[in-house]
């Protein structure tokens, strides 16, 4: 069983059943880490993309808008794998529409998942990290938090908010050897981009200096770096992985 393995860190990726989250989970697995993911709707499509030699992903159902589910998910992971040493706060949703049409419900739902959901998961993960005098927190934001995007007032606000959260927390827990960093992906080939439609996707692609969308794995590479020993002196940083889309912002 995975918990018997002595090597590797315990990594938890929220929203890890697909897209960027799943790509992160696979990368950590390949490094020999013990990896758990949370999912809300679909569990992991095993064994797609999995190295047959890695231990299975521990998949835990968790809606990050529910504090009780967050608590239960952490208890589950702690029991199965041990205290979380690396947290990737990735779970996020969109509810796009122009502000004039945006009901308070759509605003609240996105903020509650993308911003308050990270508050909940990070807060729960932090106690054991503080006691262990070490840990890595990587928060997945978005280029939209800096560049803006029509129809994404709620999403953009939530993703910009994550930067303030991360930087404040980085100052709180730096003395304990815990780093808190942000990855800001641009256009990434995921279900979230597919939902935008071809026209908007083409328009976005034309704005990217590298002229293409990222693969989820390319974002995962940045997340893994910020979680690594090589990034021990990096905290409060925002690392854009956007093909140059928002450079300078």
Partner 1 sequence: MSDVATFEKFKACAVEVLQVPEDKVVLEARFGDDLDADSLDLVELVMALEEAFDVTVEESELENIETVGQAYTLISNKL
Identified binder of partner 1 from the candidate list 51, 71, 75, 172, rule CB under 8 A: 172
Q: Tell me the torsion sign for CA atoms 81, 142, 22, 117.
A: positive
Our CB check for partner 1 shows the closer of 165 and 196 to be 165
Our CB check for partner 1 shows the closer of 40 and 176 to be 176
User: Which secondary structure element, helix H or strand E, spans residue 238, and what is its range?
Assistant: strand 238-241
CB of 175 to partner 1, least distance (A): 7
Pairing of the two strands 34-39 and 238-241: unpaired
Our CB check for partner 1 shows the closer of 23 and 178 to be 178
Contact between 123 and partner 1 by CB under 8 A: the answer reads no
Contact between 173 and partner 1 by CB under 8 A: the answer reads yes
**Pattern 38-77, partner 1, x by CB under 8 A:** ----------------------------------------
Q: Return the range that interacts with partner 1 (CB under 8 A); candidates 26-34, 127-135, 142-150, 162-170.
A: 127-135
User: Which secondary structure element, helix H or strand E, spans residue 148, and what is its range?
Assistant: none
Q: 155 catalytic, yes or no?
A: yes
The Cα–Cα gap between 246 and 244 comes to 6
Q: What is the dihedral of CA 35, 21, 229, 159, to 10 degrees?
A: -140
Q: Cβ-count burial of 112 within 10 angstroms (0-12 exposed, 13-18 middle, 19+ buried)?
A: middle
Total number of residues that touch partner 1 (CB under 8 A)? 7
DSSP code of residue 151: T
Check if the beta carbon of residue 96 is closer than 8 Å to that of residue 155. Answer: yes
CA angle (58 as vertex; 3, 178 as ends), nearest 5 = 75
Check if the beta carbon of residue 216 is closer than 8 Å to that of residue 192. Answer: no
Given the structure tokens 């997340």, which residue do they identify?
A: 223
Identified binder of partner 1 from the candidate list 45, 56, 127, 164, rule CB under 8 A: 127
**Pattern 175-214, partner 1, x by CB under 8 A:** xx--------------------------------------
Give the residue from 58, 98, 95, 92 showing the smallest Cα distance to 75: 58
SS3 37: strand
CB of 200 to partner 1, least distance (A): 45
CB of 137 to partner 1, least distance (A): 15
CB of 72 to partner 1, least distance (A): 19
Our CB check for partner 1 shows the closer of 171 and 212 to be 171
Contact between 132 and partner 1 by CB under 8 A: the answer reads no
Residue numbers annotated as active site: 155
Contacting positions for partner 1 (CB under 8 A): 127, 130-131, 172-173, 175-176
């Amino acid at each position: 069983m995975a918990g018997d393995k002595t090597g590797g860190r315990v990594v938890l990726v929220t929203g890890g059943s697909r897209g960027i989250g799943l790509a992160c989970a696979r990368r950590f697995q390949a490094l020999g880490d013990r990896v758990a993911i949370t999912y809300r709707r679909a569990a992991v499509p095993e064994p797609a993309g999995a190295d047959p030699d890695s231990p299975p992903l521990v998949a835990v159902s968790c809606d990050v808008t529910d504090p009780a589910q967050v608590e239960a998910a952490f208890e589950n992971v702690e029991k199965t794998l041990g205290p979380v040493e690396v947290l990737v706060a990735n779970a996020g949703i969109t509810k796009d529409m122009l502000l004039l049409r945006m009901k308070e419900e759509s605003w609240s739902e996105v903020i509650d998942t993308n911003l308050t959901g990270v508050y909940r998961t990070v807060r729960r993960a932090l106690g054991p990290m503080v006691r262990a005098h070490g840990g890595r927190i990587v928060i997945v934001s978005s280029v939209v938090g800096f560049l803006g995007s029509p129809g994404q007032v709620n999403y953009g606000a939530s993703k910009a908010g994550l930067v303030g959260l991360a930087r404040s927390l980085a100052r709180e827990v730096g003395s304990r050897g815990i780093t808190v960093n942000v990855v800001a992906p641009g256009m990434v080939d995921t279900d979230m981009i597919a939902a935008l439609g071809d026209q908007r996707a083409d328009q976005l692609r034309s704005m990217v200096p590298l002229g293409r969308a990222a693969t989820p794995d390319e974002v995962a590479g940045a997340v893994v770096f910020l979680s690594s020993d090589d990034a021990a002196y990096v905290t409060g940083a925002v690392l854009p992985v956007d093909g140059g889309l928002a450079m300078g912002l």
